[in-house]
């Protein structure tokens, strides 16, 4: 057994086991921690496959941002998970049907790839083996698909602003800063002259 094959089995076993623990764990904090472990081992599998850019993106974006955000949300919000789990069995048949459909789609995709390997040779842009994956991906994204890439960024920005607007709640009775009111006030509104008699003070 070679060293890459050994690490492939190690990463695969840990990733599958941690993915199962994400579902089986009753504590949501533990589920998020197992999800982070699954992401890290998946990044190791990407590194073994030669896709170092995807491995770094998986670590930086998903582990460094998304999973940690999930962890903070779960730990900070007082969510009644016991109440949320009540009545979940009534959605089990629909979930099983959707799972079977997804499994059949994955099997069809895997079977078509095995039966027709010549599809990979019909790629629009040939693969240049003299440069790294990250540089090749950057050249494609920022030259051929730059407008689609910027459009995807704009859509994500609008979605983020919409999520902030929908979840923002103004509590009554809290004094907030009004920049326009502060910058547009006059001198007599901010300064008050008081005549103090000698010996009285303020």
The CATH number given to whatever domain includes residue 49 is 1.20.120.1200
- Rounded to whole angstroms, the maximal C-alpha distance in the chain is 101
Question: Look-up: residue for tokens 């799972």?
Answer: 99
Is residue 8 domain-resident?
yes
Same domain as 131, residue 72: no
Say if CB 52 and CB 133 are below 8 A apart.
yes
Cβ atoms of 145 and 124 within 8 Å: the answer is no
pLDDT for residue 79: 60
Residue at 119 is within a domain: no
Same domain assignment for residues 73 and 133: no
What pLDDT sits at residue 16? Answer: 92
35 inside domain = yes
Check whether residue 70 and residue 138 sit in a common domain. no
On whether residue 153 sits in a domain, the answer given is yes
Does one domain contain both 14 and 74? yes
Give the pLDDT score at 55.
85
pLDDT of residue 115: 47
Residues in the chain, overall count: 202
Residue 122 lies in a domain: no
**Assigned domain for 43 exists:** yes
pLDDT for res 6? 85
- Contact, 196 vs 202, CB < 8 A? yes
Give alpha helix (H) positions in the chain: 3-24, 28-48, 52-57, 68-76, 81-85, 92-115, 133-139, 146-167, 179-183, 187-190
Same domain, 65 and 139: no
pLDDT at position 155 is: 92
Residues 1 and 69 in one domain: yes
The token pair that represents 94 in the structure block: 């629909």
Q: What is the DSSP letter of 170?
A: P
pLDDT at 84: 58
For residues 1 and 74, state if they share a domain.
yes
109: number of Cβ within 10 Å = 10
- pLDDT for the residue 114: 52
Structurally, the chain folds into a number of domains equal to 2
Is 38 a member of any domain? Answer: yes
Per the structure, the complete domain to which residue 31 belongs is given by 1-79
Q: Does the residue 108 lie in any domain?
A: no
pLDDT, residue 110, reads 66
The residues of the chain scoring below 70 in pLDDT are: 1, 75-88, 109-129, 170, 201-202
Helix axes 28-48 and 3-24, enclosed angle (nearest 10): 160
Q: Do 71 and 29 contact (CB within 8 A), yes or no? A: yes
Same domain, 1 and 72: yes
């Amino acid at each position: 057994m070679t060293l890459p094959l050994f690490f492939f089995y190690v990463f695969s076993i840990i990733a599958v086991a941690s993915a199962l623990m994400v579902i089986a764990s009753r504590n949501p904090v533990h589920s998020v921690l197992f999800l982070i472990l699954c992401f890290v081992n998946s990044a190791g599998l990407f590194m073994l496959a030669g896709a170092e850019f995807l491995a770094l993106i998986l670590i930086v974006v998903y582990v460094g941002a998304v999973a940690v955000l999930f962890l903070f949300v779960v730990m900070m919000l007082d969510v009644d998970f016991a109440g949320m789990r009540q009545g979940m069995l009534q959605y089990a048949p629909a979930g099983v049907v959707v799972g079977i459909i997804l499994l059949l789609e994955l099997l069809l995709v895997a079977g078509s790839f095995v039966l027709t390997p010549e599809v990979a040779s019909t790629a629009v842009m040939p693969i240049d083996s003299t440069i790294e994956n990250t540089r090749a991906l950057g050249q494609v994204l920022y030259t051929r698909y730059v407008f689609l890439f910027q459009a995807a960024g704009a859509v994500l920005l609008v979605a983020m602003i919409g999520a902030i607007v929908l979840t923002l709640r103004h509590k009554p009775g809290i004094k907030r800063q009004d920049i326009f009111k502060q910058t547009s006030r006059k001198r007599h509104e901010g300064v008050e002259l008081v005549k103090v008699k000698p010996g009285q003070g303020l």
